[in-house]
């Protein structure tokens, strides 16, 4: 995928004959001092990342409120409550799954369609790619504010346009409609990141040998058949990346939810990451730490299942 | 023929869906609420900078902007420096120890921020690093190290061995090789990683929201989020905030687009 991703091409370097060794050490062997180079990174990473992660496991079996000097050991109580007796968590979980499904399906399909249409490096394609990619660089809060206005029930762009063209029966309260709110946020998420996934697909599509299409054409294959039997199987590795990344992204959509749903978000927009944050904000450190672990295990297992599914359908990915 | 028609129609519709909201935002930042609601798509009849004065001055977005410049300005080069050192060490050593080191650091990419943010908060609080811009720099470095190491190690491993061997033959030690060989040839990958980090650090909401509660220490995304409560549906002010918050990234995007695409995509492919 290097064609559009990394413009790096290392310069040619003259190779000296390796027989002239000024020092006794072979230049092929690693200099021992090389082991010192990762030390700063390692120290910071262990101190401020690894240790807190382990600390989280310790908190998760306590009822610590974040302030008291002591905390009660509660065993697996937090986890039992999460799974059996926590409507807020269950609500956030179900919202998150709905959100994920819509985002993964639409973002994968749209990004592939746009990529297929923009595979060739013509001037207009390159220009459109940079336009479609643009929203990705904005902050989630910015994107949330733009879409707050688009969805505004009274003054918003969608309802204004529907009114102007006489389709006011389709006007909606959007985020104000609790049954639909999470899906509207999902659409915003797709608008936000579809361009990024499109670029991944374009890199994959540009690797497909043109001869495959040429010979298919001489065999009289239709465009749809070519897409179905050449493009789709050939971009399977890109699809795997897009789906995995989109899935993780939809669990991390914390900022977008806070921007569109308020802080703390209303319950129809609460997802797992915002739920954990609320637990933290309400001083339920032990409980929120347990939720965090469940959250992490959930993401890991969904990613794992996806990878298995992709491998099962495409053995060569 | 039908294919070309569909293609053009789809691309045109999607271009409208991306461009129109952005134009509405830019136009809107110069309008009053009444004008925005009355004619959202039209250019402002009178380009007033009142919203900008209000947003930057009174509402404190100016201070937040300065804070974001400080935090991002330190986080990006420091992350790059520390990660490139580590990547060089990992890429130039072999064997299971090197592989383990790489795996251990890169494993951090699999840990979502929400999974360890609470203990991190407790730790930073203990060290007096909450309500501090330095604390934000530190957390930015720590949380983006794994992915930066991943991207840069991948790049350094593609460099020909002869490059390093030649340097060693010339009597160059690892440190000199790092700054006189590795850094110069890594400019494209460093730039792409820098842009990737710039976007993450500039836009980050979670950690400043968690670690900062003094208004004077807020960064741009937190200040912007607080507008929501303050101005509620005063969209022109929200839009002005969006324009100010996005300006540095948009300007960089215009000039360094290639690196944006490479960096953000490398982050996605590898993350």
Distance CA A78, CA A293 (A): 11
pLDDT band of residue B1 (cuts 50, 70, 90) is confident
Nearest to A200 by CA among A122, A139, A110, A123: A110
Predicted pLDDT at A4: 39
Sign of CA dihedral B134, B140, A282, B123: negative
Asked if A293's CB is within 8 angstroms of B115's CB, the reply is yes
Domain regions of chain B by residue span: 2-38, 50-270
Residues of B in contact with A142 (CB under 8 A): 224, 242, 245-246
- Scanning B124-183 for CB atoms below 8 A from A yields 138-139, 141-143, 145-146, 149, 155, 158-166, 168-171, 173-175, 178
Q: Is B114 on the interface with A (CB under 8 A)?
A: yes
Distance CA A8, CA A122 (A): 22
Scanning the structure block, which residue is given the tokens 């009114």? Answer: A163
Predicted pLDDT at A316: 59
Q: pLDDT tens across B74-117, in order?
A: 999 999 999 999 999 999 888 899 999 999 999 998 888 888 88
Domain regions of chain A by residue span: 86-282
pLDDT band of residue A70 (cuts 50, 70, 90) is confident
| Secondary structure class of A172 (helix, strand, coil) | coil
With 60 as the cut, is the pLDDT of residue A1 above it? no
Report the pLDDT averaged over residues B47-68.
89
Distance CA B134, CA B19 (A): 37
Q: Give Dmax (Cα) for chain A.
A: 85
Predicted pLDDT at B268: 66
Q: pLDDT tens across B224-252, in order?
A: 998 877 666 789 999 999 999 999 999 99
Predicted pLDDT at A317: 54
CA angle B122, A295, A303 (to 5 degrees): 130
Predicted pLDDT at A24: 46
Compute φ and ψ for A67, nearest 5 degrees: -120, -45
- Which of A56, A133, A135 is nearest residue B115 as measured by Cβ atoms? A56
| Secondary structure class of B146 (helix, strand, coil) | helix
- What count of other Cβ atoms lies within 10 Å of the Cβ of residue B135? 21
CA gyration radius, chain A: 25
pLDDT band of residue B21 (cuts 50, 70, 90) is very high
Residue scoring higher pLDDT (B55 or A15): B55
Quick one: B50-270 is in which CATH superfamily?
A: MetI-like (1.10.3720.10)
Which two tokens mark A250? 């939809």
Nearest to B235 by CA among A157, A188, A160: A157
| Secondary structure class of A257 (helix, strand, coil) | helix
- Which of A28, A45, A259 is nearest residue B165 as measured by Cβ atoms? A28
Please report, in angstroms and rounded to a whole number, the separation of the first and last CA atoms in chain A.
14
Q: Cβ(A197)–Cβ(A107) under 8 Å?
A: yes
Residue scoring higher pLDDT (A51 or A13): A51
| Secondary structure class of A73 (helix, strand, coil) | strand
Strand-pair partners of A62: A73
Predicted pLDDT at B166: 84
Q: Which ipTM did the prediction report?
A: 0.91
- Scanning A147-206 for CB atoms below 8 A from B yields 147-150, 152, 155, 157, 160, 191, 195-197, 199-200, 203
Q: What chain A residue is nearest to B9 in terms of C-alpha separation?
A: A117
| Secondary structure class of A62 (helix, strand, coil) | strand
Distance CA B235, CA B227 (A): 10
Predicted pLDDT at B168: 82
Predicted pLDDT at A13: 43
Share of chain B above pLDDT 90, in %: 60
Which two tokens mark A123? 């001037």
With 70 as the cut, is the pLDDT of residue B4 above it? yes
Residue B269: alpha-carbon gap to chain centroid: 16
Counting Cα atoms < 13 Å in the Cβ hemisphere of A2 gives 9
Predicted pLDDT at A11: 41
Average pLDDT of the residues of chain A: 87
Lowest-confidence region among A20-34, A181-195, A283-297, B60-74: A20-34
Share of chain A above pLDDT 70, in %: 90
Share of chain A above pLDDT 90, in %: 60
Q: Cβ(B67)–Cβ(B133) under 8 Å?
A: yes
Average pLDDT of the residues of chain B: 90
How far away is chain A from the Cα of B75, in angstroms, using its nearest Cα?
Answer: 13
Q: pLDDT tens across A254-312, in order?
A: 899 999 988 889 999 999 999 999 988 888 899 999 999 999 999 989 888 888 887 78
Predicted pLDDT at B247: 94
With 70 as the cut, is the pLDDT of residue A104 above it? yes
- Which of A113, A137, A195 is nearest residue B249 as measured by Cβ atoms? A137
Predicted pLDDT at B253: 92
What fold is seen in the domain A86-282?
MetI-like fold (1.10.3720)
Predicted pLDDT at A111: 97
Predicted pLDDT at B88: 94
């Amino acid at each position: 995928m290097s064609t559009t991703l990394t413009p790096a091409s290392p310069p040619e370097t003259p190779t000296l004959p390796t027989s002239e060794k000024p020092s006794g050490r072979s230049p092929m062997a690693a200099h021992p001092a090389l082991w010192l180079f990762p030390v700063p990174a390692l120290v910071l990473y262990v101190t401020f990342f690894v240790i807190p992660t382990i600390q989280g496991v310790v908190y998760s079996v306590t009822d610590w409120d974040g302030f008291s000097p002591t905390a009660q050991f509660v065993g697996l109580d937090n986890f039992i409550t999460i799974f059996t007796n926590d409507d807020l968590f269950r609500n956030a979980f179900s919202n998150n799954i709905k959100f994920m499904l819509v985002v993964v399906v639409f973002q994968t399909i749209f990004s592939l369609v746009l990529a297929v249409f923009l595979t060739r490096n013509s001037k207009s394609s390159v220009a459109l790619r940079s336009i479609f990619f643009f929203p990705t660089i904005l902050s989630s809060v910015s994107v949330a504010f733009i879409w707050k206005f688009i969805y505004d029930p009274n003054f918003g762009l969608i309802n204004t346009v529907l009114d102007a063209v006489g389709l006011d029966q389709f006007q909606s309260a959007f985020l104000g409609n609790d049954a639909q709110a999470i899906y509207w946020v999902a659409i915003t998420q797709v608008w936000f990141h579809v361009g990024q996934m499109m670029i991944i697909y374009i890199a994959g599509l540009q690797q497909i040998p043109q001869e495959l299409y040429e010979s298919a054409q001489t065999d009289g294959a239709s465009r749809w058949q070519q897409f179905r039997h050449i493009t789709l199987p050939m971009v399977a590795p890109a699809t795997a990346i897009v789906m995995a990344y989109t899935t993780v992204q939809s669990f991390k959509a914390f900022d977008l939810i806070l921007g569109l749903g308020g802080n703390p978000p209303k319950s129809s927009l609460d997802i797992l990451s915002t739920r954990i944050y609320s637990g933290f904000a309400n001083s339920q450190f032990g409980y929120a730490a347990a939720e965090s672990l469940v959250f992490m295990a959930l993401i890991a297992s969904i990613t794992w299942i996806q990878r298995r599914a992709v491998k099962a359908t495409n053995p060569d990915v | 023929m039908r294919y070309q028609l569909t293609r053009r129609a789809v691309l045109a519709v999607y271009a409208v869906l991306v461009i129109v909201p952005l134009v509405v935002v830019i136009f809107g930042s110069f309008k009053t609420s009444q004008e925005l609601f009355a004619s959202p798509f039209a250019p402002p009849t009178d380009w007033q900078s009142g919203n900008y004065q209000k947003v930057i001055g009174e509402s404190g977005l100016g201070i937040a902007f300065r804070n974001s410049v400080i935090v991002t300005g330190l986080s990006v080069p420091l992350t790059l420096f520390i990660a490139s050192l580590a990547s060089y060490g990992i890429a130039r050593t072999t064997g299971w120890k090197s592989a383990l080191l790489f795996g251990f650091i890169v494993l951090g990419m699999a840990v979502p921020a929400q999974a360890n943010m609470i203990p991190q908060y407790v730790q930073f609080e203990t060290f007096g690093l909450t309500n501090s811009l330095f604390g934000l720099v530190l957390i930015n470095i720590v949380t983006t190290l794994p992915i930066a190491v991943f991207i840069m190690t991948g790049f350094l491993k593609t460099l020909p061995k002869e490059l390093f061997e030649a340097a060693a033959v010339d009597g160059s030690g690892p440190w000199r090789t790092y700054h006189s060989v590795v850094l110069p040839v890594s400019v494209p990958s460093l730039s792409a990683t820098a842009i990737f980090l710039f976007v993450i650090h500039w836009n980050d909401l979670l950690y400043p929201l968690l670690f900062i509660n003094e208004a004077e220490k807020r960064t741009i995304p937190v200040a912007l989020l607080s507008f929501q409560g303050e101005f509620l549906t005063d969209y022109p002010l929200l839009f002005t905030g969006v324009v100010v918050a996005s300006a540095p990234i948009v300007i960089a995007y215009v000039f360094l687009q290639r690196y944006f695409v490479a960096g953000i995509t490398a982050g996605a492919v590898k993350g």
